[in-house]
Amino acid sequence: MHVQGHYFPKASSNYQPGVANIRDTLVEISHDDQLISSYAISDISLTSGLAGLADELRFNDGSRFIPSDVNYRWPFKTNKHDLLERLEKSKWAIIAAIVATPLFMWLMLYKVVPAIAVYSVDTLPHSVVEQMGEQSFAVIKKLALDPTELSAEQQATVQQHFNTMLDALALEKSVYRLSFYKSQSFGANAFALPHGRIVVTDELANLLADKPNALKAVLLHEIGHVVHQHSVRITAQSAASTIVLAVIFGDLEGIAEVALGTGASFAQQGFSRDMEREADSYALTQLEYLGYSSNDFADAIEALQGAHTTENEHLKKVNNLLEYLSSHPSSQERIDNARK
Amino acid sequence: MESIHPTPSQSNEPNGQPLTPLSSSKVQFSGKGGEFFGIWIVNILLSVLTLGIYSAWAKVRTMRYFYGHTRIDGHSFDYLATPMQILKGRILAVIVFLIYTFAVSFFPLIGFLFAIAFIFLMPWIINQGLRFNMRMTRHRNVRFAFKGDYGEAFVNFILLPIASVFTLYLLMPYVLKRIDNYIHSNISYGNKPLTVKLKGETYYLTALICFVVSSITMVIFMAILGLFGLDLLNVENQQAAQDPVKMGIMFGGLMIAYVVMIAIVTAVWKAAIRNHIFNNSQFEDVASFKSELKPIPYAILLLTNMLAIVFSLGLAYAWTQIRTSKMLAEATTVDIYPGALNLIDTTQEQQSSFAEEAANVFDIDLSLT
């Protein structure tokens, strides 16, 4: 067997044309019938084949022989060397990959990662959650919150509603803490931090001043977030999916990465909407349990919707179109859910 | 692959004189879209199935495919890194990344400390990455090498970019010139260093052209907005916002203008700078380069790449990589001098690819082409 090619001596840019002959357990390299070198097949390292590339022989002294025919494959190669090449050239493997890849990605991002996140949240020590909450709170306070301007009695009233509900639900007062802040950037709003601090803005307290039960519904919704450990879960999830994407697509570049990032953030917003629904249903259940009506919750959402749309009415239509981009379910869906 | 080289024994010209090249030829790229598509899609599937472990093998196969199909004077490049090297680096990088993400998401204030540490670590990571990539590149049994210096890297990649912020980015083209100069003048092929002579004027002129192009596009932006009765400077006058169809067409128009602008600016910058670097670099007595990448065809290529990827839901990615490599190869001519036959490989043995992987996961892309 004569294989035409080039012989490259060790660590040099020099090379010469040559012919490789396989003789039993040896490969002999010669040029014009003059023997240059001969090597035992067992001392040759082979590389796995790649489409359209010559199958080079790497000898143990650092020299190489490269066949001129890029499609030539050495007969002493074992099957495992060319398994990948065969897979990459097989129509069925390619079709299977096109179908299976998105499926596995979906499983990974929507099923496996959330499951891991839930599990890891349960094993997280309480002090870590406390730290995480306090640090985020410090950052938010600096960026978006001003001292409250509510009267002491208005604060006391809401605080008292809050405490009564905590007692009735047998929740720890040292964990669930209520604070009031004025906030230009949040407007009428309330939010919960992972360690149990719940913030109500002055704007919200004023908006719902004459609907105390609606305010209770909002508080219950926020308590729901803490009970279900939503913020810890979403943080763990976003960290985990970032890692999954970085590991799988470490060397994707440019536009492909942008597309993936967009996909991942859609997934993230999806989780966030599911969590809002979970908190909503917590609020609805507990409202019934405490003897209020789920209509109180609908009232609250309606009032909030009113407050926010007067601020930027012209964007309302666009907002409805972009529902799938939002971190919350649409207000209408939430109201309908409460009223049914 | 028929080469017209004389055999080594004939090359005994003395060094140090201006020599006529032995050969002058275009870089050839023989990769095929269909072939690479198979490699790419199987890579992704196996990477997903093995929870990312196969991605190290995937990277090596992709690199080997592109290196192996790129030929200068009939001889291909070799990518020498082994999957295990890449995997070890990747595992280390993921551990660091894990600690970083969790620390930052659970304790936001610690993120600040990480950022400081990262600034000081970055020059080292960049150097290591370049060193690894160069050492893993071989042509005709001789490896490339990169000798970086922490201090210089710190000045070029950290200090000067920060300083340029205070000059309203007027210093930026100069900084980019310094960075390109640092990267290329530290490369050597075997025992032969690359000599590079870059000019600041070219960088400033190119930056100016890019600025003019983006300004023109901004004017077109405004014209489109005006056409739909949306005056960004006048908040009261926003009737167009009431009509979702109009809004849709308008956003569509803006998107197209924006994407076209990105493609043109990228192409103008990359073509001019690549041509400048190639035309002013040489391995003395060994090889000199010429690049004639034309901005308009390159912009069209980038634009059609983007469209193809979006409309094929990503499947066209493999094809776009191949045609890009093809265009870059066709724009490049290499002259080979007699010294090319007497080079000696001086590179030492392997190192882990951690830094390069860390750079990859943290997304600091420092591509050399």
Tens-digit pLDDT profile for residues B256-268: 778 888 889 999 9
Two tokens, residue A184: 């230009």
B195-233 confidence digits (pLDDT tens): 999 999 999 999 999 999 889 888 887 787 777 665 555
Closest chain A residue to the Cα of B357, Cα to Cα = A250
pLDDT band at B244 (very low <50, low <70, confident <90, very high): low
Give how far Cα A88 sits from Cα of A83, A227, A302, Å.
9, 50, 57
- Comparing B134 with B259, the larger pLDDT belongs to B134
- Comparing B115 with B364, the larger pLDDT belongs to B115
- What integer pLDDT is reported at residue A326 of this predicted model? 59
- Strand arrangement, sheet containing A197-201: A146-147, A177-182, A197-201, A190-192
Contact call for B49 and A315, based on CB within 8 A: no
A331-339 helix and A254-289 helix, angle to the nearest 10 degrees: 30
Contact call for A53 and B69, based on CB within 8 A: yes
pLDDT band at B355 (very low <50, low <70, confident <90, very high): low
- What integer pLDDT is reported at residue B236 of this predicted model? 47
Among A15, A52, A317, select the one facing B69 at the smallest CB separation: A52
Two tokens, residue B28: 């050839």
- What integer pLDDT is reported at residue B211 of this predicted model? 92
- The rounded distance, in Å, linking the Cα atoms of B10 and A284 is 91
In tens digits, chain A (340 residues) has pLDDT values of 789 999 988 877 788 899 998 888 888 898 888 888 888 888 888 888 888 888 888 888 888 999 988 888 888 877 777 788 888 888 999 999 899 888 887 887 778 877 877 777 777 777 878 887 888 888 888 888 889 998 999 999 999 999 999 998 888 888 899 999 998 878 888 888 888 899 999 988 988 888 888 889 999 999 998 888 888 788 777 777 776 666 665 555 555 555 566 666 766 777 788 888 888 999 899 888 988 888 888 888 888 877 766 545 444 444 444 444 556 777 788 888 888 7
**Phi/psi at A178 (nearest 5 deg)?**
-105, 135
DSSP state of B320: H
- What integer pLDDT is reported at residue B240 of this predicted model? 47
- The rounded distance, in Å, linking the Cα atoms of A16 and A31 is 8
| Cα of A208 to nearest chain B Cα, Å | 30
Residue from B353, B361, B285, B343 nearest B138 by CA: B343
Q: Do you know the residue count of chain A?
A: 340
Q: Where in chain A do CATH 2.30.29.30 domains reside?
A: 2-82
- What integer pLDDT is reported at residue A44 of this predicted model? 87
- What integer pLDDT is reported at residue B125 of this predicted model? 84
- The rounded distance, in Å, linking the Cα atoms of A323 and A272 is 13
Contact call for A259 and B68, based on CB within 8 A: no
- The rounded distance, in Å, linking the Cα atoms of B132 and B349 is 11
Give how far Cα B294 sits from Cα of B269, B272, B274, B275, B297, Å.
11, 8, 10, 9, 6
Answer yes or no: are the C-beta atoms of B80 and B46 closer than 8 Å: no
The continuous run of DSSP H or E covering B334 comes out as strand B332-336
Answer yes or no: are the C-beta atoms of B321 and B36 closer than 8 Å: yes
Percent of chain B with pLDDT over 90: 38
ipTM of the complex: 0.72
Answer yes or no: are the C-beta atoms of A26 and A61 closer than 8 Å: no
pLDDT band at B347 (very low <50, low <70, confident <90, very high): low
Residues in chain A within 8 Å Cβ distance of B242: 314, 317
Answer yes or no: are the C-beta atoms of B119 and B84 closer than 8 Å: no
- What integer pLDDT is reported at residue B343 of this predicted model? 75
Closest chain B residue to the Cα of A109, Cα to Cα = B48
Contact call for B140 and A8, based on CB within 8 A: yes
Closest chain B residue to the Cα of A250, Cα to Cα = B361
- Comparing A100 with B89, the larger pLDDT belongs to A100
| Cα of B297 to nearest chain A Cα, Å | 19
- The rounded distance, in Å, linking the Cα atoms of B254 and B216 is 14
Residues in chain B within 8 Å Cβ distance of A12: 141-142, 342-345
Answer yes or no: are the C-beta atoms of A331 and A276 closer than 8 Å: no
| Cα of B16 to nearest chain A Cα, Å | 19
Residue from A305, A299, A300, A297 nearest A281 by CA: A297
Contact call for A248 and B55, based on CB within 8 A: yes
How many helices and strands in chain B, by DSSP H and E? 12, 11
- The rounded distance, in Å, linking the Cα atoms of A39 and A20 is 10
- The rounded distance, in Å, linking the Cα atoms of B343 and A12 is 6
Residue B33 in this model has a pLDDT that exceeds 80: yes
DSSP state of B305: H
**Phi/psi at A81 (nearest 5 deg)?**
-65, -30
Task: Name residue A192's beta-bridge partners.
Answer: A198
Averaged over B150-179, what is the pLDDT? 92
Task: Name residue A197's beta-bridge partners.
Answer: A177
Of the given ranges (A24-33, B22-31, B63-72, B148-157), which has the lowest mean pLDDT? A24-33
Among B76, B310, B345, select the one facing A11 at the smallest CB separation: B345
Predicted model pTM? 0.76
Task: Name residue B142's beta-bridge partners.
Answer: B139
Domain extents for chain B? 148-185
- The rounded distance, in Å, linking the Cα atoms of A13 and B142 is 6
Residues in chain A within 8 Å Cβ distance of B76: 53-54
| Cα of A237 to nearest chain B Cα, Å | 11
Confirm or reject CATH 2.30.29.30 for domain A2-82, answering yes or no.
Answer: yes
- The rounded distance, in Å, linking the Cα atoms of B199 and B237 is 49
- What integer pLDDT is reported at residue A330 of this predicted model? 77
Q: Is B110 exposed, middle or buried (0-12, 13-18, 19+ CB in 10 A)?
A: middle
Top residue of A8, A10, A13 to mutate, by most chain B CBs within 10 Å, is A13
- What integer pLDDT is reported at residue A86 of this predicted model? 87
Top residue of A247, A252, A311 to mutate, by most chain B CBs within 10 Å, is A247
- What integer pLDDT is reported at residue B93 of this predicted model? 76
